[in-house]
Structures are given as structure tokens and as C-alpha cells.
Amino acid sequence: MSLKIRLSRGGAKKRPFYRIVVADARMPRDGRFIERLGTFDPLKAKDHAERLVVDAEKAAEWITKGAQPTDRVARLLETVGVGKRETRNNPVKGLPKKKAQERTAANAAAAEKAAAAAAAPAEEAA
């Protein structure tokens, strides 16, 4: 059985409220869970004490048992001092594609020509 520590959504429309739960990965997001570890209220200020309420000991215990936190929960648990989330980085994904690179190269060449043409008459006048 694959266990996940994840967010279970509650609250009204446009007013989200999440519970941090341990659940079987096959269960629906808001469905059956094994244990409730805490709550997360994204509408409260970031420095508000009740924005994130987590039982850190229980969370650490579940992680040692093999439960995998989702990326968002790992970020939240890191703020309470449970676990260390490795940072993700894919710099290749953010690079422009081939056509955009060609366009920027052409624009740079045109800008160089324009700068050279603007500098040439200034040198002749001097």
C-alpha cells in the first residue's frame, strides 16, 4: 500500500481550507484517509499562527514509515522543520525554442547594425 501525505480540500467555493492527511494513494483527494495530521488555511496571512497547524511528530513518524509527502505538503512541512525538500530546477525548460532563438539572434544583429550606423556618422562629424 502506497501512502501519501497530502492536502484534502474543504471549505466553500472560492474559500479553500485544507486538511493535511495521510491517505492511501489510490483513494480520492477528499476521500477516505488514515490519519489527520493538521490543517492549512491559505486565506490567512503568512505570518498568522493558525495558517499552518501540523503535528510535526506524527508527520515525521509517518515519513519514517514510508509515507511520501506531495510537493506542496513537503514545502509546508519544511517550514515546520520536518524533512528537507530538494529544490527542483530544469533550466532547459525555460529556454526559448528554436524559432524564438533565431528571432532574438536576428534582432540582435539588426540592433548592432543600427548602433554601428549611428556611431559612424558621429565619428565622421568629429
pLDDT at 4: 95
65 and 28: one domain?
yes
Q: Quick one: 56 exposed, middle or buried, by C-beta within 10 A (0-12, 13-18, 19+)?
A: middle
75 and 103: one domain?
no
pLDDT at 74: 93
Measured CA to CA, the distance from residue 13 to residue 6 in angstroms comes to: 20
Q: 87 is written with which cell numbers?
A: 529544490
18 and 74: one domain?
yes
Model confidence pLDDT, tens digit, residues 100-111: 989 988 988 898
44 and 97: one domain?
no
pLDDT at 5: 96
Model confidence pLDDT, tens digit, residues 25-82: 999 999 999 999 999 999 999 999 999 999 999 999 999 999 999 999 999 999 988 8
**If you search the block for the grid coordinates 515546520, which residue do you land on?**
80
pLDDT at 125: 58
pLDDT at 89: 81
pLDDT at 122: 58
Number of domains in the chain: 2
Measured CA to CA, the distance from residue 77 to residue 48 in angstroms comes to: 16
In a domain, 70, yes or no: yes
Longest dimension (CA), the chain: 82
User: Which structural domain range is residue 16 located in?
Assistant: 3-80
We report the CATH number of the domain holding residue 42 as 3.30.1320.10
Q: Does the pLDDT value for residue 17 go beyond 90?
A: yes
As a whole number of Å, the CA-based R_g of the chain is: 26
Measured CA to CA, the distance from residue 66 to residue 45 in angstroms comes to: 32
72 and 99: one domain?
no
In a domain, 88, yes or no: no
